[in-house]
Homo-oligomer: A and B are copies of this chain.
């Protein structure tokens, strides 16, 4: 039987087009009438809810509390930190009026005309450093008021010129942590802790083996002193910045007067951090794991983890089969995976089992179960794993099978992580000189990640970025690099561009 893929084109044929088609086939999201903004449909939104639930728990366990700050930021607030303001200025939605006049046109149709011009316009938050910082300034008098450990789940808006669903949309959903501390040590530890939480989440919940590291000065968040990032390689070898954590030094504290009286009675500025992940994680996991049959959801955040499909060739079987399916479902949801009840559903739609099966393949459910009349008779069921070929079936005793579901989910997670790790490790190349860099670049139809010793200047970085149409994704932490890279590292490396002696590495790649 020749394999026919559910998604056209395939990844090989046209990766960007394949990505759009996977989203459509899985019914995750769609473009809307509002330029660059998406509608996140229930199957996609459930992924976000599961991401939220896992991260929110980690944030609270590490002492953070949720709060909510205004959507609209007065222009004058944005202006306070010049670098920050300039970093976001070109992509801000601006509110200039606060009402509409309803007028009837010649055909009696209602027309709405903007009225009530504001003295000071507002921008829709592209990020909330400035509005949260203003609150922190009010809340901080003494060292006893610190640290402030706040997180916000919210929508933000950046007017993207080339929107791409989930990865780069004008409006997106995210969490933004904002903290203020008495000392640099504490603030850096906070930024580092949240960076670790993201890295752990990407590995253990999304099965994506990100590379953790620091951004170069050129690539830093506008106004930050240090930006930590986790970078994911997806199947076309491009990099996606999956989550960032920034140590701001006292820059924002000075711009916003977040100051306090320390233990010695002296006035000091606080040290602040911010950190966030967004709905672009959904785009990342699609590009990391999905295949030519559609979506493949990592079990930890899957909208449903098990789908049960009743196979009903004749109406007289219906009641008995549905009953067994429901009974199986109730056994499965009593199981626990990663501390949560397993999510399972019976597909009772009025449609044939084959169509249903392909729907759930495309929607990426980790485990599919089918139960038909013969299974009923023999006390069996048939299950399939989304990580395997759609022809691979397992016929097993139904008695006691539910208890095995958590282990199957864990196996699927491991398979995804191993596959993604192989992809990553096979596509990172160490280049300690410009010829190697050039050779590896030229030799490739698609774009590997090039790892180089690096001590160049900002100008040199920008020159290389422009010439090769790539960027430094991060200066990686050495301890978690793939063996293929780390075994080549020596103690006396020299920057491949400037020739300066250095122990710092840079990862160069194309990115989304």
Q: Enumerate chain A interface residues (CB-CB to B < 8 A).
A: 30, 32-34, 37-42, 45-46, 48-49, 65-75, 77-79, 82, 85-86, 89-102, 109-112, 114, 116, 121-124, 131, 134-135, 138, 144, 150, 154-155, 157, 159, 171, 173, 350
Contacts and interface: CB of A to CB of B under 8 A. Distances in A.
A159 B118 CA distance: 12
A144 B355 CA distance: 15
A71 to B, nearest CB: 5
A121 B65 CA distance: 36
A67 B95 contact: no
A79 B91 CA distance: 27
Contact of A34 (B94, B122, B157): B122
A49 B153 CA distance: 11
A75 B97 CA distance: 13
A93 B95 contact: yes
Given A34-B131, A85-B110, A45 B67 contact: yes
Contacts of A73: 34
Contacts of A157: 71-72
A98 B173 CA distance: 19
Given A95-B93, A131-B33, A85 B71 contact: no
A415 to B, nearest CB: 29
A49 B155 CA distance: 17
Nearest to A111: B79
A154 B153 CA distance: 10
Given A66-B42, A124-B95, A71 B37 contact: yes
Contacts of A159: 98-99, 116
Contact of A135 (B32, B69, B111, B112): B32
Contacts of A102: 82, 85-86, 89
Contact of A39 (B67, B89, B94, B96): B67
A68 B110 CA distance: 28
A154 B78 CA distance: 24
A100 B90 contact: yes
Contacts of A154: 155
A115 to B, nearest CB: 8
A69 B37 CA distance: 8
Nearest to A98: B159
Contacts of A79: 109-112
Given A90-B99, A100-B90, A102-B86, A37 B110 contact: no
A116 B94 CA distance: 10
Contact of A93 (B45, B49, B72): B72
Given A32-B131, A122-B34, A134-B33, A68 B45 contact: yes
B110 A42 contact: no
Given A42-B67, A93-B97, 17 more contacts: A33-B74, A33-B134, A34-B72, A34-B131, A37-B70, A39-B70, A46-B65, A46-B66, A48-B68, A49-B66, A72-B171, A75-B112, A85-B110, A94-B97, A96-B97, A100-B123, A114-B121
Contacts of A114: 94, 96, 121
B32 A77 contact: no
B89 A94 contact: no
A467 B108 CA distance: 33
19 contacts: A33-B70, A34-B70, A34-B73, A40-B67, A40-B68, A42-B66, A42-B150, A68-B173, A71-B171, A75-B100, A79-B109, A79-B110, A82-B102, A82-B109, A85-B112, A89-B101, A89-B112, A92-B100, A94-B96
Given A94-B100, A96-B94, A45 B71 contact: no
Contacts of A72: 34, 37, 93, 157, 171
A38 B89 CA distance: 25
A463 B3 CA distance: 74
B39 A69 contact: yes
Nearest to A100: B89
Nearest to A72: B34
A136 to B, nearest CB: 11
A91 to B, nearest CB: 6
A155 B121 contact: no
Nearest to A123: B100
